[in-house]
Amino acid sequence: MKKIFLITILISAISFAQDSEYQFTKLIDLTPTPVINQGKTGTCWSFSTVSFLESEVKRITGKDIDLSEMYAVRMTYPEKAYNYVYRQGKAQFSEGGLSHDVMNAIAKHGIEPLEVYLGMTPGKESFDHSELEKNLTAQLEKIVKDPKNNLKAGWMNDVQSTLDQYMGKAPEKFNFEGKEYTPKSFADELKINAKDYVTLTSFTHHPAYSKFILEIPDNFSNGSYYNLPLDEYTQVLNDALHNGFTVALDADVSEKTFSGQAGMAIWPSERNEKDYFKVLLPEASVNAEIRQTAFEDYSTTDDHLMHITGMVTDQIGNQYYDVKNSWGTKDLGNGGHIYMSIPYFKMKSIAYTVHKDALPKELKKKLGIN
């Protein structure tokens, strides 16, 4: 098996729905792992980034691996709790997170295969963190409202116990394919080094080519982003895909022109809801000013993370990103993937995470990335 995924060109066009005018042909197919369902959780950040890392393991080692999405979630919740309590409740505490939270968890704790840690207690058939989040939030609120009486030495042990109750206890050592590992030694075996990954964005309220902490609510861990001009931001992604690298994407999916049912995301120049995803519509041009305005008036927000695994074209040559989602496949178009137009990406993406080797040498030098 080659270490770089093969780029597959398909001859025949594939129509995603019988009543749609759109027809798609695969351009780049980086063979993602199957679509799964995050269930009733706000943990798309881990599902998308772990899927991305599974592709990275395949690219780097040639191995197919099914990693635990919930291990990173389990290791990140205590970090969120600590941050919330010591910021006196003036910080974000929710199920949400970002790709760098998975990387932080790997750097500190490692990672585990799915067969070792599912992150779901026996008897459960799907992920549901509604009760877990409710109980954790109540625990933390009790502390911040009366820290003199409730901020005791063992408060974090109580958080850990709640997490174990709902997610199960993650093993400190485990056997996998005849060898014993710790989570950190397993990450080393898979050649996953969190320091090898960078997150790129494109906004004008910070200088181009600067490194800054992006001001979005889920960035509780103050992750840094590299800022690129919009066209370069897009071109780096395109080149990465053509060179066999996938990326973890953070984007706004609240628009009516984003549809899991249709399996598409478009940015049409004219708005007619009856035609969305049925008639091949011309799309609007997007520039840095329009994108920035939408970010600053909250029209574009940090909604959802997914995994870009390739590209497709429509019948007139427009290109779309093939985006693996984590909403399962039932009643969803394109097998649970989203075909996202480049204008939609330019307008509604927040950022993406990629291996640093996907960046051109000149850009790495300009950004100070070794």
Given the residues 219, 227, 325, 334, select the one marked as catalytic: 325
CA distance 9 to 161: 50
Find out whether 349 and 251 touch, Cβ atoms under 8 Å.
yes
Q: How many other β-carbons are positioned within 10 Å of the β-carbon of residue 345?
A: 22
CA distance 248 to 349: 11
Find out whether 343 and 251 touch, Cβ atoms under 8 Å.
no
Number of residues that make up the chain? 370
**Beta strands 179-181; 174-176: pairing state:** antiparallel
Helix, strand or coil, per DSSP, at residue 175 = strand
Find out whether 240 and 315 touch, Cβ atoms under 8 Å.
no
CA distance 200 to 211: 9
Active site residue 325: yes
**DSSP designation for 193:** -
Q: Give the CA distances from residue 264 to residues 97, 295, 302, 342, in Å, rounded to whole numbers and listed in that order.
A: 24, 22, 19, 12
Active site residue 157: no
Angle between helices 69-86 and 44-61 (to 10 degrees): 130
Given the residues 129, 304, 337, 355, select the one marked as catalytic: 304
Per DSSP, helices labelled H in the chain are 44-61, 69-86, 99-109, 130-145, 147-150, 155-167, 183-189, 230-242, 288-296, 342-348, 361-367
Active site residue 44: yes
Q: How many other β-carbons are positioned within 10 Å of the β-carbon of residue 148?
A: 5
Residue type at 32 in one-letter notation: P
* Residue 337 neighbours by CB under 8 Å, 6+ apart: 35, 263, 309, 322, 323, 324, 325
Kindly list the catalytic residues. Answer: 44, 304, 325
